[in-house]
Amino acid sequence: MPISFQLEDNTVLAKQHFNRVAREQMRPISRKYDEHEHELPTEWVDFWWKEGRKGAPGRIDGPNDGFVTVCVQAEELCWGDAALYLRMPTPALGGSAVGAAGTPEQKERFLSHFRADGHPIWGAMAITEPGAGSDSAAIETTADYDEATDEYVLNGTKIFCTAGEGASQVEGGFVVVWATVDKSAGRGGIKSFVVPARTPGMTLVGLEKKLGIRASDTATLRFEDCRVPAANLLGSARVSKKGGKKTGDKGFKGAMATFDASRPIVAAMAVGVGRAALDFVVEELGRQGVVIRYDAPRTSQTAIERDLMEMEAELQAARLLTWRAAKLISSGKPNNLEASMAKAKAGLAVTQITQKAVELLGPLGYSRKLLVEKWMRDAKINDICEGTQQINQLIIARRILDYPSSMLR
Ligand SMILES: Cc1cc2nc3c(=O)[nH]c(=O)nc-3n(C[C@H](O)[C@H](O)[C@H](O)COP(=O)(O)OP(=O)(O)OC[C@H]3O[C@@H](n4cnc5c(N)ncnc54)[C@H](O)[C@@H]3O)c2cc1C
Protein backbone atom coordinates (compact mmCIF):
# COMPACT_ATOMS: atom_id res chain seq x y z
CA MET A 1 0.00 0.00 0.00
CA PRO A 2 1.53 3.37 -0.96
CA ILE A 3 1.85 5.57 2.13
CA SER A 4 2.27 9.31 2.16
CA PHE A 5 4.48 10.56 4.97
CA GLN A 6 3.02 14.03 4.68
CA LEU A 7 0.85 14.68 7.74
CA GLU A 8 -2.73 15.86 7.17
CA ASP A 9 -3.32 19.53 8.01
CA ASN A 10 -5.43 18.68 11.06
CA THR A 11 -2.76 16.29 12.34
CA VAL A 12 -0.19 19.07 12.02
CA LEU A 13 -2.46 21.35 14.09
CA ALA A 14 -2.91 18.63 16.70
CA LYS A 15 0.87 18.17 16.79
CA GLN A 16 1.35 21.87 17.48
CA HIS A 17 -1.31 21.79 20.20
CA PHE A 18 0.24 18.82 22.01
CA ASN A 19 3.72 20.28 21.69
CA ARG A 20 2.43 23.36 23.51
CA VAL A 21 0.88 21.14 26.20
CA ALA A 22 4.19 19.28 26.56
CA ARG A 23 6.19 22.48 26.80
CA GLU A 24 3.90 24.37 29.15
CA GLN A 25 2.29 21.67 31.32
CA MET A 26 4.72 18.74 31.41
CA ARG A 27 8.31 19.97 31.25
CA PRO A 28 7.98 22.34 34.25
CA ILE A 29 6.94 19.47 36.57
CA SER A 30 9.01 16.72 34.97
CA ARG A 31 11.78 16.63 37.58
CA LYS A 32 9.38 17.10 40.51
CA TYR A 33 7.46 13.89 39.85
CA ASP A 34 10.59 11.97 38.90
CA GLU A 35 11.77 12.68 42.44
CA HIS A 36 8.39 12.10 44.15
CA GLU A 37 7.73 8.70 42.67
CA HIS A 38 4.39 7.68 44.11
CA GLU A 39 2.81 11.11 44.41
CA LEU A 40 -0.19 11.85 42.18
CA PRO A 41 0.75 14.68 39.76
CA THR A 42 -2.47 16.52 40.53
CA GLU A 43 -1.79 19.64 38.44
CA TRP A 44 -1.18 17.47 35.37
CA VAL A 45 -4.07 15.08 36.01
CA ASP A 46 -6.50 17.98 36.53
CA PHE A 47 -5.23 19.82 33.46
CA TRP A 48 -5.52 16.75 31.28
CA TRP A 49 -9.00 15.79 32.50
CA LYS A 50 -10.39 19.29 32.05
CA GLU A 51 -8.57 20.58 28.99
CA GLY A 52 -5.77 18.54 27.49
CA ARG A 53 -7.87 15.55 26.46
CA LYS A 54 -10.05 17.76 24.27
CA GLY A 55 -7.13 18.17 21.88
CA ALA A 56 -6.81 21.13 19.58
CA PRO A 57 -10.41 22.38 19.33
CA GLY A 58 -12.20 20.51 16.58
CA ARG A 59 -8.98 18.84 15.49
CA ILE A 60 -8.58 15.46 17.14
CA ASP A 61 -12.30 14.80 16.89
CA GLY A 62 -12.53 16.33 13.43
CA PRO A 63 -11.18 14.74 10.24
CA ASN A 64 -7.56 13.77 10.75
CA ASP A 65 -5.15 10.95 10.10
CA GLY A 66 -6.77 8.67 12.69
CA PHE A 67 -4.20 6.46 14.30
CA VAL A 68 -1.29 8.49 12.91
CA THR A 69 -2.62 11.39 14.98
CA VAL A 70 -2.70 9.16 18.06
CA CYS A 71 1.00 8.39 17.47
CA VAL A 72 1.85 12.03 16.79
CA GLN A 73 0.16 12.91 20.09
CA ALA A 74 2.19 10.23 21.90
CA GLU A 75 5.44 11.53 20.39
CA GLU A 76 4.74 15.13 21.36
CA LEU A 77 3.59 14.36 24.91
CA CYS A 78 6.50 11.98 25.53
CA TRP A 79 8.83 14.67 24.24
CA GLY A 80 7.31 16.53 27.22
CA ASP A 81 7.50 13.66 29.73
CA ALA A 82 6.88 9.95 29.09
CA ALA A 83 5.97 9.16 32.69
CA LEU A 84 3.35 11.91 32.89
CA TYR A 85 1.99 10.68 29.55
CA LEU A 86 1.45 7.26 31.13
CA ARG A 87 -0.18 8.94 34.15
CA MET A 88 -2.83 10.69 32.04
CA PRO A 89 -6.39 9.80 33.04
CA THR A 90 -7.35 7.84 29.90
CA PRO A 91 -8.45 4.25 29.09
CA ALA A 92 -4.82 3.72 27.92
CA LEU A 93 -3.84 0.08 27.30
CA GLY A 94 -7.13 -1.08 28.81
CA GLY A 95 -8.88 0.98 26.13
CA SER A 96 -6.73 -0.58 23.39
CA ALA A 97 -7.80 -4.01 24.65
CA VAL A 98 -11.51 -3.10 24.69
CA GLY A 99 -11.11 -1.49 21.26
CA ALA A 100 -9.38 -4.56 19.79
CA ALA A 101 -11.45 -7.35 21.34
CA GLY A 102 -14.68 -5.79 22.66
CA THR A 103 -18.15 -5.84 21.13
CA PRO A 104 -19.77 -2.50 20.14
CA GLU A 105 -21.87 -2.73 23.32
CA GLN A 106 -18.77 -3.26 25.46
CA LYS A 107 -16.95 -0.35 23.81
CA GLU A 108 -19.88 1.89 24.63
CA ARG A 109 -20.23 0.57 28.21
CA PHE A 110 -16.56 0.74 29.18
CA LEU A 111 -15.20 3.67 27.18
CA SER A 112 -17.89 6.30 26.61
CA HIS A 113 -17.81 7.71 30.16
CA PHE A 114 -14.14 8.62 29.71
CA ARG A 115 -15.39 11.49 27.60
CA ALA A 116 -17.96 12.69 30.14
CA ASP A 117 -17.44 15.21 32.89
CA GLY A 118 -16.76 13.99 36.41
CA HIS A 119 -13.59 13.04 38.25
CA PRO A 120 -10.47 11.78 36.40
CA ILE A 121 -10.50 8.02 35.67
CA TRP A 122 -7.98 5.48 34.37
CA GLY A 123 -7.86 2.23 32.41
CA ALA A 124 -5.11 -0.43 32.59
CA MET A 125 -4.23 -3.83 31.20
CA ALA A 126 -2.93 -6.67 33.39
CA ILE A 127 -1.26 -9.51 31.52
CA THR A 128 2.11 -10.02 33.24
CA GLU A 129 2.39 -12.41 36.18
CA PRO A 130 5.32 -13.60 38.32
CA GLY A 131 5.57 -16.67 36.04
CA ALA A 132 4.34 -15.21 32.73
CA GLY A 133 5.88 -12.26 30.88
CA SER A 134 7.04 -12.71 27.31
CA ASP A 135 5.28 -16.05 27.19
CA SER A 136 1.76 -14.78 27.83
CA ALA A 137 0.35 -18.24 27.10
CA ALA A 138 1.81 -19.32 30.48
CA ILE A 139 -0.75 -17.20 32.35
CA GLU A 140 -1.99 -18.88 35.52
CA THR A 141 -4.70 -16.48 36.68
CA THR A 142 -7.95 -18.41 36.45
CA ALA A 143 -11.47 -17.36 35.51
CA ASP A 144 -14.09 -19.91 36.55
CA TYR A 145 -17.62 -19.58 35.25
CA ASP A 146 -20.34 -19.65 37.91
CA GLU A 147 -23.52 -20.71 36.16
CA ALA A 148 -25.72 -19.83 39.15
CA THR A 149 -24.83 -16.13 39.02
CA ASP A 150 -23.67 -15.84 35.39
CA GLU A 151 -20.36 -14.48 36.60
CA TYR A 152 -16.66 -15.27 36.20
CA VAL A 153 -14.58 -15.69 39.35
CA LEU A 154 -10.96 -14.50 38.98
CA ASN A 155 -8.02 -15.74 41.06
CA GLY A 156 -4.34 -14.86 40.58
CA THR A 157 -1.70 -12.15 40.79
CA LYS A 158 -0.74 -9.56 38.18
CA ILE A 159 2.49 -7.57 38.33
CA PHE A 160 3.90 -4.48 36.59
CA CYS A 161 0.50 -3.10 35.67
CA THR A 162 0.87 0.44 34.29
CA ALA A 163 -1.77 2.82 35.69
CA GLY A 164 -2.82 -0.06 37.93
CA GLU A 165 -3.30 2.11 40.98
CA GLY A 166 -5.67 4.60 39.36
CA ALA A 167 -7.49 1.96 37.32
CA SER A 168 -8.13 -0.36 40.27
CA GLN A 169 -8.87 2.25 42.95
CA VAL A 170 -10.72 5.18 41.37
CA GLU A 171 -14.45 4.71 40.73
CA GLY A 172 -15.23 4.65 36.99
CA GLY A 173 -11.90 3.10 35.96
CA PHE A 174 -11.21 -0.50 34.95
CA VAL A 175 -8.49 -3.12 34.56
CA VAL A 176 -8.53 -5.57 31.64
CA VAL A 177 -7.29 -8.86 33.11
CA TRP A 178 -6.05 -11.80 31.07
CA ALA A 179 -7.02 -15.12 32.63
CA THR A 180 -7.54 -18.72 31.58
CA VAL A 181 -10.97 -20.31 31.56
CA ASP A 182 -9.39 -23.71 30.90
CA LYS A 183 -5.70 -24.39 31.57
CA SER A 184 -5.75 -27.61 29.52
CA ALA A 185 -6.73 -25.59 26.44
CA GLY A 186 -3.42 -23.62 26.49
CA ARG A 187 -3.62 -20.36 24.56
CA GLY A 188 -7.19 -21.16 23.52
CA GLY A 189 -8.30 -20.90 27.14
CA ILE A 190 -7.00 -17.37 27.66
CA LYS A 191 -9.61 -14.60 27.63
CA SER A 192 -9.67 -11.00 28.75
CA PHE A 193 -12.07 -9.63 31.36
CA VAL A 194 -12.95 -6.09 32.30
CA VAL A 195 -12.76 -5.67 36.07
CA PRO A 196 -14.26 -2.33 37.16
CA ALA A 197 -12.34 -0.33 39.78
CA ARG A 198 -13.08 -1.28 43.39
CA THR A 199 -14.60 -4.64 42.50
CA PRO A 200 -14.47 -6.72 45.71
CA GLY A 201 -11.66 -9.27 45.51
CA MET A 202 -9.30 -7.01 43.50
CA THR A 203 -6.57 -5.68 45.82
CA LEU A 204 -3.78 -3.22 45.16
CA VAL A 205 -0.83 -5.00 46.76
CA GLY A 206 1.83 -2.36 46.08
CA LEU A 207 3.64 -0.07 43.65
CA GLU A 208 7.03 -0.62 42.02
CA LYS A 209 10.01 1.64 42.66
CA LYS A 210 11.57 2.06 39.23
CA LEU A 211 14.63 3.12 37.24
CA GLY A 212 12.64 5.41 34.94
CA ILE A 213 9.10 6.62 34.12
CA ARG A 214 8.84 7.12 37.87
CA ALA A 215 5.71 9.30 37.72
CA SER A 216 3.83 6.33 36.24
CA ASP A 217 2.09 4.06 38.78
CA THR A 218 3.17 0.45 38.18
CA ALA A 219 1.09 -1.84 40.35
CA THR A 220 0.86 -5.37 41.67
CA LEU A 221 -2.78 -6.49 41.81
CA ARG A 222 -4.16 -9.56 43.54
CA PHE A 223 -7.44 -11.23 42.55
CA GLU A 224 -9.12 -13.40 45.18
CA ASP A 225 -12.54 -14.73 44.28
CA CYS A 226 -13.06 -11.53 42.32
CA ARG A 227 -16.42 -11.73 40.55
CA VAL A 228 -17.32 -9.98 37.31
CA PRO A 229 -20.46 -10.37 35.17
CA ALA A 230 -20.06 -12.80 32.25
CA ALA A 231 -20.88 -9.82 30.03
CA ASN A 232 -17.46 -8.38 30.97
CA LEU A 233 -15.62 -11.09 29.02
CA LEU A 234 -14.31 -9.14 26.04
CA GLY A 235 -15.62 -10.31 22.71
CA SER A 236 -18.70 -12.23 23.76
CA ALA A 237 -21.11 -12.42 26.62
CA ARG A 238 -20.12 -15.92 27.59
CA VAL A 239 -17.78 -18.81 26.78
CA SER A 240 -18.44 -22.34 27.96
CA LYS A 241 -16.44 -23.68 30.90
CA LYS A 242 -14.39 -25.84 28.55
CA GLY A 243 -13.21 -22.83 26.58
CA GLY A 244 -15.51 -23.56 23.64
CA LYS A 245 -16.06 -20.65 21.28
CA LYS A 246 -19.24 -18.72 20.61
CA THR A 247 -19.92 -16.30 17.77
CA GLY A 248 -18.16 -13.02 18.35
CA ASP A 249 -15.63 -14.40 20.83
CA LYS A 250 -12.15 -13.41 19.68
CA GLY A 251 -10.39 -15.18 22.58
CA PHE A 252 -6.58 -15.21 22.68
CA LYS A 253 -6.25 -13.91 19.11
CA GLY A 254 -8.46 -10.94 19.98
CA ALA A 255 -6.42 -10.25 23.08
CA MET A 256 -3.17 -10.46 21.07
CA ALA A 257 -4.62 -8.01 18.52
CA THR A 258 -4.33 -5.39 21.27
CA PHE A 259 -0.57 -5.38 20.66
CA ASP A 260 -0.97 -4.43 17.00
CA ALA A 261 -2.51 -1.16 18.21
CA SER A 262 -0.39 -0.62 21.33
CA ARG A 263 3.05 -1.31 19.80
CA PRO A 264 2.97 1.67 17.38
CA ILE A 265 1.98 3.88 20.32
CA VAL A 266 4.92 2.65 22.42
CA ALA A 267 7.16 3.16 19.38
CA ALA A 268 5.87 6.75 19.09
CA MET A 269 6.54 7.24 22.82
CA ALA A 270 10.12 6.11 22.25
CA VAL A 271 10.52 8.54 19.34
CA GLY A 272 9.27 11.36 21.61
CA VAL A 273 11.83 10.60 24.34
CA GLY A 274 14.63 10.21 21.78
CA ARG A 275 13.71 13.50 20.14
CA ALA A 276 13.71 15.28 23.51
CA ALA A 277 17.31 14.16 24.05
CA LEU A 278 18.44 14.90 20.50
CA ASP A 279 16.81 18.36 20.39
CA PHE A 280 18.48 19.26 23.66
CA VAL A 281 21.93 18.06 22.62
CA VAL A 282 21.79 19.83 19.26
CA GLU A 283 20.74 23.05 21.00
CA GLU A 284 23.35 22.77 23.75
CA LEU A 285 26.21 21.89 21.39
CA GLY A 286 25.02 24.66 19.06
CA ARG A 287 25.53 27.08 21.94
CA GLN A 288 29.09 25.74 22.15
CA GLY A 289 29.64 26.44 18.46
CA VAL A 290 29.06 22.96 17.05
CA VAL A 291 27.33 23.13 13.65
CA ILE A 292 26.30 19.96 11.81
CA ARG A 293 27.65 20.19 8.26
CA TYR A 294 25.27 17.84 6.45
CA ASP A 295 27.02 18.41 3.12
CA ALA A 296 30.57 17.88 4.35
CA PRO A 297 32.30 14.81 2.88
CA ARG A 298 32.36 11.89 5.30
CA THR A 299 36.16 12.02 5.51
CA SER A 300 36.10 15.55 6.89
CA GLN A 301 33.17 15.21 9.32
CA THR A 302 33.94 15.46 13.01
CA ALA A 303 33.06 12.58 15.33
CA ILE A 304 30.33 14.71 16.92
CA GLU A 305 28.78 15.56 13.55
CA ARG A 306 28.73 11.89 12.62
CA ASP A 307 27.16 10.95 15.97
CA LEU A 308 24.43 13.59 15.66
CA MET A 309 23.62 12.61 12.08
CA GLU A 310 23.38 8.97 13.08
CA MET A 311 21.06 9.87 15.95
CA GLU A 312 18.84 11.87 13.58
CA ALA A 313 18.78 9.04 11.04
CA GLU A 314 17.85 6.44 13.67
CA LEU A 315 15.08 8.65 15.00
CA GLN A 316 13.65 9.36 11.57
CA ALA A 317 13.74 5.67 10.61
CA ALA A 318 11.88 4.78 13.83
CA ARG A 319 9.29 7.50 13.22
CA LEU A 320 8.61 6.45 9.63
CA LEU A 321 8.19 2.81 10.66
CA THR A 322 5.80 3.97 13.39
CA TRP A 323 3.70 6.04 11.02
CA ARG A 324 3.57 3.14 8.55
CA ALA A 325 2.26 0.78 11.24
CA ALA A 326 -0.25 3.43 12.33
CA LYS A 327 -1.39 4.23 8.80
CA LEU A 328 -2.19 0.54 8.23
CA ILE A 329 -4.48 0.59 11.29
CA SER A 330 -6.23 3.72 10.03
CA SER A 331 -6.79 1.94 6.72
CA GLY A 332 -8.19 -1.18 8.42
CA LYS A 333 -5.27 -3.32 7.17
CA PRO A 334 -3.27 -5.93 9.11
CA ASN A 335 -0.11 -4.48 10.67
CA ASN A 336 1.24 -7.24 12.91
CA LEU A 337 4.65 -7.28 11.19
CA GLU A 338 4.90 -3.50 10.83
CA ALA A 339 3.86 -2.90 14.48
CA SER A 340 6.68 -5.16 15.71
CA MET A 341 9.18 -3.57 13.30
CA ALA A 342 8.32 -0.09 14.57
CA LYS A 343 8.48 -1.18 18.21
CA ALA A 344 11.80 -3.05 17.84
CA LYS A 345 13.46 -0.21 15.91
CA ALA A 346 12.18 2.60 18.14
CA GLY A 347 12.93 0.73 21.40
CA LEU A 348 16.55 0.24 20.38
CA ALA A 349 16.95 3.70 18.83
CA VAL A 350 15.73 5.52 21.93
CA THR A 351 18.09 3.67 24.28
CA GLN A 352 21.05 4.40 21.99
CA ILE A 353 20.11 8.03 21.31
CA THR A 354 19.59 8.93 24.97
CA GLN A 355 22.81 7.21 26.05
CA LYS A 356 24.72 9.05 23.33
CA ALA A 357 23.13 12.33 24.45
CA VAL A 358 24.41 11.78 28.00
CA GLU A 359 27.85 10.92 26.59
CA LEU A 360 28.08 13.95 24.28
CA LEU A 361 27.24 16.38 27.07
CA GLY A 362 29.98 15.06 29.33
CA PRO A 363 29.49 15.37 33.11
CA LEU A 364 26.56 17.74 32.57
CA GLY A 365 24.72 14.93 30.81
CA TYR A 366 25.03 12.81 33.94
CA SER A 367 23.96 15.61 36.26
CA ARG A 368 20.44 15.90 37.65
CA LYS A 369 20.57 19.60 36.78
CA LEU A 370 19.40 18.59 33.32
CA LEU A 371 16.66 16.20 32.21
CA VAL A 372 18.96 14.28 29.86
CA GLU A 373 19.88 11.63 32.45
CA LYS A 374 16.16 11.21 33.18
CA TRP A 375 15.40 10.67 29.49
CA MET A 376 18.09 7.98 29.43
CA ARG A 377 16.34 6.24 32.36
CA ASP A 378 12.88 6.78 30.81
CA ALA A 379 14.03 5.32 27.48
CA LYS A 380 14.59 1.68 28.38
CA ILE A 381 10.98 0.78 29.18
CA ASN A 382 10.12 1.29 25.51
CA ASP A 383 12.36 -1.68 24.77
CA ILE A 384 10.64 -3.87 27.40
CA CYS A 385 6.87 -3.39 27.65
CA GLU A 386 4.42 -4.49 24.94
CA GLY A 387 6.91 -7.19 23.94
CA THR A 388 10.65 -6.87 24.54
CA GLN A 389 13.19 -6.16 21.78
CA GLN A 390 13.91 -9.90 21.50
CA ILE A 391 10.23 -10.88 21.32
CA ASN A 392 9.46 -8.32 18.62
CA GLN A 393 12.46 -9.51 16.60
CA LEU A 394 11.11 -13.04 16.97
CA ILE A 395 7.70 -11.94 15.65
CA ILE A 396 9.33 -10.16 12.69
CA ALA A 397 11.36 -13.28 11.83
CA ARG A 398 8.24 -15.48 12.04
CA ARG A 399 6.26 -13.17 9.76
CA ILE A 400 9.05 -12.77 7.18
CA LEU A 401 9.98 -16.47 7.12
CA ASP A 402 6.36 -17.59 7.51
CA TYR A 403 7.17 -19.86 10.45
CA PRO A 404 4.55 -20.69 13.09
CA SER A 405 5.43 -19.83 16.70
CA SER A 406 5.86 -23.55 17.42
CA MET A 407 8.82 -23.66 14.98
CA LEU A 408 10.51 -20.38 15.93
CA ARG A 409 10.47 -19.64 19.64
C1 LIG B 1 7.61 -0.20 33.94
C2 LIG B 1 6.90 -1.40 33.39
C3 LIG B 1 5.56 -1.30 33.03
C4 LIG B 1 4.88 -2.42 32.58
N5 LIG B 1 3.53 -2.31 32.28
C6 LIG B 1 2.83 -3.43 32.02
C7 LIG B 1 1.40 -3.40 31.88
O8 LIG B 1 0.78 -2.33 31.92
N9 LIG B 1 0.73 -4.57 31.73
C10 LIG B 1 1.38 -5.76 31.67
O11 LIG B 1 0.72 -6.77 31.55
N12 LIG B 1 2.73 -5.83 31.76
C13 LIG B 1 3.47 -4.70 31.94
N14 LIG B 1 4.83 -4.77 32.08
C15 LIG B 1 5.50 -6.06 31.97
C16 LIG B 1 6.23 -6.23 30.66
O17 LIG B 1 5.32 -6.34 29.60
C18 LIG B 1 7.12 -7.49 30.81
O19 LIG B 1 8.17 -7.12 31.69
C20 LIG B 1 7.66 -7.97 29.50
O21 LIG B 1 6.64 -8.54 28.74
C22 LIG B 1 8.77 -9.02 29.68
O23 LIG B 1 8.33 -10.06 30.50
P24 LIG B 1 9.18 -10.50 31.76
O25 LIG B 1 9.52 -9.29 32.54
O26 LIG B 1 8.50 -11.61 32.46
O27 LIG B 1 10.55 -11.02 31.16
P28 LIG B 1 10.88 -12.45 30.56
O29 LIG B 1 9.82 -12.90 29.64
O30 LIG B 1 11.23 -13.34 31.70
O31 LIG B 1 12.18 -12.12 29.71
C32 LIG B 1 13.47 -11.88 30.30
C33 LIG B 1 14.43 -11.63 29.15
O34 LIG B 1 14.48 -12.80 28.29
C35 LIG B 1 14.17 -12.42 26.94
N36 LIG B 1 13.39 -13.48 26.32
C37 LIG B 1 12.26 -14.05 26.78
N38 LIG B 1 11.79 -14.99 25.91
C39 LIG B 1 12.65 -14.98 24.87
C40 LIG B 1 12.72 -15.70 23.64
N41 LIG B 1 11.80 -16.61 23.31
N42 LIG B 1 13.75 -15.43 22.79
C43 LIG B 1 14.69 -14.49 23.11
N44 LIG B 1 14.68 -13.79 24.25
C45 LIG B 1 13.68 -14.01 25.12
C46 LIG B 1 13.36 -11.14 27.05
O47 LIG B 1 13.46 -10.38 25.89
C48 LIG B 1 14.03 -10.47 28.26
O49 LIG B 1 15.15 -9.77 27.83
C50 LIG B 1 5.55 -3.65 32.45
C51 LIG B 1 6.92 -3.74 32.78
C52 LIG B 1 7.59 -2.64 33.23
C53 LIG B 1 9.05 -2.78 33.58
Domain boundary assignment for the chain: 104-249
Residue type, position 330, single letter: S
- Per-residue confidence (pLDDT) for residue 187, from 0 to 100: 86
Quick: pLDDT tens for 200-243: 999 999 999 999 999 999 999 999 999 999 999 998 644 444 44
| Atom of ligand 1 minimally distant from the CA of 208 | 1
What pLDDT shows up at residue 55?
58
Q: What pLDDT is attached to residue 332? A: 87
Residue 253 banded pLDDT, cuts 50, 70, 90: confident
- Residue of minimum CA distance from atom 48 in ligand 1: 388
Residue 391 Cα, ligand 1 centroid: separation in angstroms?
9
CA of 178, closest atom in ligand 1: 11
Q: Distance, CA 388 to ligand 1 centroid (Å)?
A: 6
pLDDT value at 254 more than 80: no
Cβ of residue 381 lying under 6 Å from some atom of ligand 1: yes
> How far is CA 171 from each of CA 103, 167, 198, 251, rounded to the nearest angstrom?
23, 8, 7, 27
At 137 the pLDDT is: 84
pLDDT at 248: 38
Contacts of 206 (CB under 8 A, 6+ apart): 219, 220
Evaluate if residue 255 carries a pLDDT over 80.
no
Note the pLDDT of residue 251.
65
Q: If you measure from the C-alpha of residue 102 to the centroid of ligand 1, how many angstroms do you get, rounded to a whole number?
A: 25
Catalytic positions, written as ranges? 386
- Residue 176 · residue 124 · CB < 8 Å: yes
Pairing of strands 174-180, 123-126: parallel
Least confident of 115-119, 123-127, 149-153, 308-312: 115-119
Look over the chain and give the mean of its residue pLDDT values, rounded to a whole number.
91
Whole-angstrom distance, CA of residue 251 vs CA of residue 244: 10
pLDDT of residue 2: 63
Q: How far apart are CA 42 and CA 83, in angstroms?
A: 14
Greatest Cα pair distance, the chain, in angstroms, is 78
Nearest CA to ligand 1 atom 23: 133
Distance in Å, CA 66 to ligand 1 centroid: 29
Confidence of residue 372 (pLDDT cuts 50, 70, 90): very high
Instruction: Confirm or reject: Cβ of 128 under 6 Å from ligand 1.
Output: yes
Helix (H, G, I), strand (E, B) or coil at 71: helix
Residue nearest to atom 29 of ligand 1 (CA): 134
Mean pLDDT of the region 259-286: 96
Query: Ligand 1, closest atom to CA 163?
Result: 8
83 lines ligand 1 (CB under 6 A): no
Among 139, 140, 160, residue to substitute to test ligand 1 (most atoms within 8 Å of Cβ): 160
Of all residues in the chain, the percent with pLDDT exceeding 70 is: 92
- How many Å lie between the centroid of ligand 1 and the Cα of residue 43? 31
The DSSP element (H or E) to which 78 belongs, if any, is helix 67-86
- Cβ of 88 closer than 6 Å to ligand 1, yes or no, is no
10 Å CB burial of residue 135 (0-12, 13-18, 19+) is exposed
Using CA atoms, how far apart are residues 165 and 167, in angstroms rounded to an integer?
Answer: 6
Query: Mutate which of 140, 209, 384 to test ligand 1's pocket (most atoms within 8 Å of Cβ)?
Result: 384
State the closest ligand 1 atom to the C-alpha of 135, by its place in the atom list counted from 1: 29
Overall average pLDDT of the 141-163 stretch: 98
**What's the pLDDT tens digit per position in 18-64?**
999 999 999 999 999 999 999 999 999 999 998 766 654 433 444 45
DSSP 132: B
Residues 104-249, CATH architecture: Beta Barrel (2.40)
pLDDT number for residue 249: 56
| Nearest residue to 244 via CA among 185, 159, 320, 328 | 185
Residue nearest to atom 25 of ligand 1 (CA): 133
- Cβ atoms within 10 Å of 371's Cβ, excluding its own: 17
**Cα(281) to centroid(ligand 1), Å:** 31
266-289 as b/e: b if 16+ CB within 10 A: bbbbbbbbbbbbbebbbebbeeee
In the reported structure, the alpha carbon of residue 370 is separated from the centroid of ligand 1 by a whole-number distance in angstroms of 30
**Ligand 1 lined by 162 (C-beta under 6 Å):** yes
